Structure 1
Amino acid sequence: MLSQQANKLDGYRGEKRHATIRATVIGVVCLYILTTTFLGHPLPGGMFIACVVTVHWMLSCGLVVWIHRRPGESRPRHYVMMLLDISGMTYMMAVGGAPFLPLYTVMQRLVVANGLTYGRSSMKICTATALLSLTVVTYFNNYWHENPFMVVTLVSGMVLVPAYIYTMHKKLEVAYEREQDANKSKSRFLAQASHDLRQPVHAISLFIACLRDAKLRAEELKLVESIDRSLQSVSRLFKSLLDISTLDSGKVTPTIEAVTINDIIDDVLHQNSEAAQRNKCELRIIGCSAIVRTDRTLFSTMLQNIVNNAIKYAPGREILIGCRRRGNTLAVQVFDRGPGIPYEHQAKVFDEFHQVRARGDKDVEGVGLGLSIVRRLGGVLDIDVKLRSLLGHGTCVTLSNLEICAQAELAPRPIQISETDLAQGLRVLLVDDDEAVLTATAHLLRKWGCKVETSLAPPDQVSEIDLLITDFDLGNGVTGKECIEQVQRLARRPVSTVVMTGHDQDRVRDDLAEAEVPIMAKPVRPAELRSILLVQAVKARSRQAAPRITA
């Protein structure tokens, strides 16, 4: 989706640029006619030629206006203007003689530009049309007729230059296709590796949550916390790898809505509070009541990566998150008082896998994907990302161009559930083809008071249940979609469902075609699972409390 939009935008910009250049070149030709006349070298048929050039210039200016008002690449419009340009130059060279020889370079440039912009087929058509033009000029113009070697030279140039560019263009296309194939292979590898490794990490995360409730001694609990911190570092790496592969696939489609910027900042602050405490950083925010139009999830990912970077590279320092109004837009800024980034690295920190490191520096977790994801998501959301850093004084990253909107556009946020006993007695059917994940999830749900039935595949029979929790990929070509359909068919009623997956959530959402089904990305944090569980428990209690109508 995004790649198609980008190609259309590039085509529109290219057509507008070429139309502007065309109008400029024809305007220069007009000046050339006026200059030669003023210097006492009037051109044969000068007045008529001047009229023809003027008409062409007016048509070219009209084309610029047309493209501006009706954007979008148009091949018919392109070929009509190509014929108009070549026919105009053919006429001027035919009646104008030697003074109009410089138009040959303009024609050659037109052939090359069309080939580079619209492809090799367009270059063939344009070259053939140009050769026909030179034939017509040679037939009607005495000067060209009397200089056959000049004509041979010009025809050779019109054939050899486009032919050479045609060959190079073909080689460039082959190299580009190879590069794209390599890039797609990298993305597929990252996505698959991320998915395969998420399963055991997901299971470990749930087992750790179970251990926390196992009445361990203080020393043992401290070890569990250390394991959990290390596991979260791995989880963040997997999330970065999945984000990169999703962006490479071009399938990131933003959902723009009105959100309170303070809600996003508070969420990011909450997510990073433990990491900041471990690194002895002080996280501060300056409140802002502004409501902006953006994609909540994607913008949260951008801000999360920036704050996470600040915590890693500015240990023991203060980190400030604040906002600035700029007319009808808002800028969110993250300041840290860390060591700063050397000037020669500031443009490179947004490149994939680039880290600012010197010989003997302490290892820092991560592989250098955070700011690359920020820059690419900024392109998706039309947000400007700027970095300013001074050695010894710190770094500031600014996310600007957020559109401020009215309070009336803000949708009500879902009610937060805080009751701790709602999950007690909740009947859950758990389906996952990974036995370790199935065991860990079931154990955790039972500790929360749920009545859990487990299955490694979609079940053949279903008892009374309140909630279905299923993995998306269940093996043997079966997905969560088929599992949901089968369970609801056996239950003979709609069943509340939660889907957990290690794949891109947008892809899973498209396959399910169900906007109301919560989708959780593995590895799932126990707190996230509990939050979703409580919401589903409220729905289950509401259904049980609803009056039954009997005949």
Structure 2
Amino acid sequence: MASGASSIKTISARFVAKFKRRRVTNSAKQSRTFVRFYMLAEDAYDTERVQAFVRIYMLGVVSLYIVVMGAFDAMPPEGQTELRAFLAAYLPFALLILGWVVVRPGVNVWRRLTSMTGDFSGIAWMLAHGGSTTLPFFAILLWVVLGTGLRFGRKYLQVGMVMGLICLAVVTWFNTYWQENLYVVAAFAVTAIVVPVYVLALLSHMERAYEAVREANRSKSRMMAHASHDLRQPIHAISLYTACLRDAGLQDKDLQVVDSIDRSLGQVQRLFKSLLDISTLDGGRVTPRREPIALTDVIDDILRQNAETAQRAGAVLRGVRCGLVVDVDQALLTTMLQNIISNAIKYAPGAPIVIGCRRRGRTVTMIVCDAGPGIAPEHQERVFEEFYQVRERGDRDIEGVGLGLPIVRRLAELLDLSVELRSLPGRGTCVAIAGLPVTAKPARVGKLPPVPLAPSVRGLHVLLVEDDDSVREATATLLKGWGCDVQTEAGIPVAVANCDLVITDYDLGGGLTGTECIHAVRALLGRSVPAVVLTGHDEARVCAEITDVSIPVLSKPLRPAELRSVILSVQASVMTPS
């Protein structure tokens, strides 16, 4: 074990040294890359700003064309003077539109129509005051029609096509050259109709295809939401029944079978959670909720959640305390660390695993190191691809589908963090989450106090409200096995004899929720009875809808030990004087 610890120190030292060298050299590059990407993203998003800038660029192109035509004596001096005067007069209009976009960004129909009217008026003036040398300006007219339609939509394309035809008619009316060459007018008119109509058909086809893709994504999200609830319920019930069997006084041989069932169920739960996480990220339904978090609390939670799994795998899991407070979404950060630790336990069984922190100026880097077999260089970047697993011929089967690290990277992007992986084959692997912002604000105080030593729930009067029969029966059996006095209800009760704690599902059917159930029970008893909410849906959504922050929300499927711990914590919070 000493050699394993030494390996971890060696890997950690190398990782930190390399990270220091790269951080200085890469910070400027990353800043420049970020600025360029930000500007590009802004331009891509604000289409009116792009159109305003391109309008100014086109003025430059026209000016260059005038200079070239003058150099070859292809345009008379008086024509050049008139066009330069027009460009000088038109430039303030272009700058005014750009300033309007900058001051009031976003969609503005009147600004779009004003700019289109100005563009077509300017093109008509240039075409009407020239002869054959200004015919290439028709390309600008076509660009305005197509560019406006492609940027703003089909309706603007139709309006632009009509304006373009009016522009051609006005030019023909005032220009004798065009009147003498009607075949040129006919060619331009046909082009101004055929090309936009063809583009309009393509846009319609693309919009239908895009809407079909969006509907497919919405259907997938709805399917995953329903499947999530329907699959959580039986898994949750099986977990509770397994706990009941373990407390039923079985023989050692039978307990081994129960433990095997429990381990297999744990694998299903982890796989199920990964699939739900990636589906939630795909649906864009994850919104970070930043708050000051003590990193020591995060590390303690991770160690507590993974202690049993690490023990089964023969791994030694330990953490290095960190007194810093960071501003981050604790749930998302915990999910990232949980996935990294789970990977380390799976791929480095029997090896020591360490989780710690290192400060870097105004940020913190959380590092998870293991002394496992490591990852070959050709696989190190690909492990962040979805469903990719490092597998060689003859390798043992490992649970999972290759979503752990992809979820980590996607959550890091959501939180404006970065993920680094360093691995030496035969020596071990380090995964770092960098960029956690340090804050001087006090850490959020947890809702629940620590569980006292030698806890017991015996004699606790519990009101259990659950609309699913199997889950209600399994939960009641488990609570009774712990010595609780349980009253079960399938919906909001009309009478409550005695109650120390309410445990309710959030979705009770008929448009009723656990929040309404808790309010009804408290009204019946005339006091603020403690409560715990269980849900088979999105935990973040339920937390947002429950206004009472003292009510813990647990996501199904949950471990019986987690339920017991929360019950004891709620109990302790009631007994502790404020």
Identify the residue that residue 3 of structure 1 maps to in structure 2: none
Q: In the aligned structure 2, how far is the partner of 1:142 from the partner of 1:396?
A: 78
The equivalent position to 2:542 in structure 1, one of 499, 508, 525, is 508
What SS does the corresponding residue of 2:385 show, helix, strand or coil?
coil
Query: 1:227 matched to which residue of 2?
Result: 261
Using the TM superposition, give the Cα deviation of residue 257 of structure 1 relative to its aligned residue in structure 2, in angstroms: 0.8
The 1:509–1:258 alpha-carbon spacing in structure 2 relative to 1, beyond 3 Å, is closer
In the aligned structure 2, how far is the partner of 1:515 from the partner of 1:246? 24
2:217 corresponding residue in structure 1: 183
DSSP 3-state at the match of 1:453: strand
Calculate the TM-score normalised by the size of structure 1: 0.85
1:395 Cα deviation (Å)?
6.1
Summarize the Cα distance change of 1:110–1:182 in structure 2 as closer, same or farther, 3 Å threshold. same
Match among 495, 503, 512 for residue 461 of structure 1: 495
Residue matched to 1:5:
none
1:518 aligns with 2:556: no
Distance in 1 between residues matched to 2:390 and 2:93, nearest whole Å: 54
Contact 1:242–1:504 under 8 Å retained in 2: no
Change (3 A) 1:16 1:420: farther
User: What is the identity, as a one-letter code, of the residue corresponding to 1:136?
Assistant: V
What are the equivalent positions in structure 2 for 1:427-506 lying under 5 Å apart? 427-506=461-540
1:25 maps to which of 55, 58, 71: 58
Q: Secondary structure at the match of 1:20?
A: helix
Q: Could you state the TM-score of these two structures normalised by the residue count of structure 2?
A: 0.81
Partner of 1:363: 397
Paired residue for 1:72, among 106, 127, 133?
A: 106
Are the counterparts in 1 of residues 382 and 388 from structure 2 also a CA contact under 8 Å? no
Q: Tell me which residue corresponds to 1:350.
A: 385
- Contact 1:426/1:537 (<8 A) preserved: no
How does 1:288-303 map onto structure 2 within 5 Å? 288-303=322-337
Amino acid at match of 1:31: L
SS of structure 2 residue aligned to 1:102: helix
CA contact (8 A) 1:345 1:356 kept: no
Note the C-alpha offset of 1:294.
1.7
Native 8 Å contact 1:305 1:374 kept in 2: yes
Measure how far apart 1:502 and its partner are. 0.7
CA drift at 1:249: 4.3
Question: Whole-Å Cα distance in 1 between the matches of residues 83 and 316 of structure 2?
Answer: 75
Alpha-carbon offset, residue 500 of structure 1: 0.7
1:199–1:76 CA distance, 2 compared to 1 (3 A): same
Q: CA deviation at 1:196?
A: 1.3
2:231 to 197, 201, 205: 197
Determine the structure 2 residue equivalent to 1:423.
457
Query: Quick one: which amino acid aligns to residue 528 of structure 1?
Result: E
**Counterpart in 2 of 1:81?**
115
Q: How does 1:74-113 map to 2 (within 5 A)?
A: 74-113=108-147
Judge conservation of contact 1:97–1:143 (CA < 8 Å) in 2. yes
Q: For structure 1, which segment, 56-65 or 485-494, has the greater mean C-alpha deviation from structure 2 after superposition?
A: 56-65
User: Deviations for 1:330-374, whole angstroms, at most 9, x for unmatched residues?
Assistant: 4445556555367589468434x4545567654332233334433
1:340 aligns with 2:371: no
1:137 to partner: Cα distance: 2.2
Write the distance in 1 (CA, Å) between the matches of 2:190 and 2:520.
Answer: 72
Structure 1 residue 529 displacement after superposition: 1.2
Secondary structure of 2:531 counterpart: strand
* 1:466-496 deviation line (CA, Å, top 9, x unaligned): 2111112334554324432332332233322
Distance 1:90 1:55 in 2: 15
Aligned to 2:276: 242
Query: Structure 1 residue 532: deviation in Å?
Result: 1.7
Opposite residue 404 of structure 1, the aligned amino acid is: V
CA gap of 1:137–1:364, structure 2 versus 1, over 3 A, is farther
Q: Which runs of 5+ in 1 are unaligned?
A: 1-7, 547-551
Q: Distance in 1 between matches of 2:382 and 2:520?
A: 53
Tell me the equivalent position of 2:20.
Answer: none
Q: CA deviation at 1:70?
A: 4.0
C-alpha change, 1:74 and 1:24, in structure 2 (3 Å) is same
What SS does the aligned partner of 1:151 have? Answer: helix
Which residue does the alignment assign to 2:567? 533
Asked if the contact 2:383/2:406 (under 8 Å) is kept, the reply is: no
Looking at structure 2, the residues matched to 271 and 333 of structure 1 have their Cα atoms a distance apart, in angstroms, of 18
Given that 2:128 and 2:172 are in contact with CA atoms closer than 8 Å, whether structure 1 keeps it comes out as: yes
CA drift at 1:35: 4.0
Report how far residue 203 of structure 1 moved. Answer: 1.7
Contact 1:430 1:453 in 2 (8 A): yes
3-state SS of paired residue (1:474): strand
Contact 1:442 1:452 in 2 (8 A): yes
Extract unaligned runs of 5+ from structure 2.
1-40
How far the C-alpha of 1:106 sits from its partner, in A, is 2.7
User: Is the CA contact (8 Å cut-off) linking 1:349 and 1:356 kept in structure 2?
Assistant: no
Which runs of structure 2 are paired with 1:320-331 in the superposition (5 Å)? 321=355, 323=357, 328-331=362-365
Cα shift at 1:232 = 1.2
* CA displacement at 1:503 relative to structure 2: 0.9
| Greater Cα offset, 122-131 or 341-350 | 341-350
CA-to-aligned-CA distance 1:390-444 (integer Å, 9 cap, x gap): 87777665544433322x3533345323243463432211122233322332233
**Displacement of 1:521:** 0.6
For 1:237 and 1:130, the matched residues in 2 are separated by 58
1:127-171 deviation line (CA, Å, top 9, x unaligned) = 211222222222223333332222222222221122111111111
The answer to whether the 8 Å contact 2:43/2:50 transfers is no
CA–CA distance in structure 1, aligned partners of residues 302 and 468 of structure 2? 31
Residue aligning to 2:188: 154
Distance 1:529 1:31 in 2: 75
Aligned residue pairs, count: 535
**CA–CA distance in structure 1, aligned partners of residues 79 and 360 of structure 2:** 58
Per the alignment, do residues 392 and 539 of structure 1 end up closer, same or farther by CA in structure 2, a change over 3 Å counting? closer
Given that residues 409 and 419 in structure 2 are in contact (C-alpha distance below 8 angstroms), is that contact kept between their aligned partners in structure 1? Answer: yes
Q: What residue in structure 2 maps to residue 311 of structure 1?
A: 345
Q: CA RMSD in A?
A: 3.4
Task: Give the superposition deviation at 1:387.
Answer: 5.9
Aligned-partner residue type, residue 46 of structure 1:
Q
SS in 1 for 2:508: coil
- 8 Å CA contact retained: 1:44, 1:95: no
Question: Cα gap change, 1:329/1:512 in structure 2, threshold over 3 Å: closer, same or farther?
Answer: closer
Change (3 A) 1:169 1:209: same
CA distance in 1, matches of 2:357, 2:118: 53
**2:49 aligned to which of 16, 23, 35:** 16
Structure 1 residue 9 displacement after superposition = 7.1
- Residues 152-211 of structure 1 deviation map (CA, whole Å, 9 limit, x = unaligned): 222222211221111111111111222222222222222222211211211221222233
Q: How does 1:268-279 map to 2 (within 5 A)?
A: 268-279=302-313
For the pair 1:139 / 2:173, whether they are aligned, the reply is yes
The more displaced of 294-303 and 331-340 is: 331-340
Cα deviation digits, residues 78-102 of structure 1 (max 9, x gap): 3322222222222222223333333
Does structure 2 retain, via aligned residues, the 8 Å contact 1:12–1:73?
Answer: no
- How far off its partner does 1:22 sit? 2.9
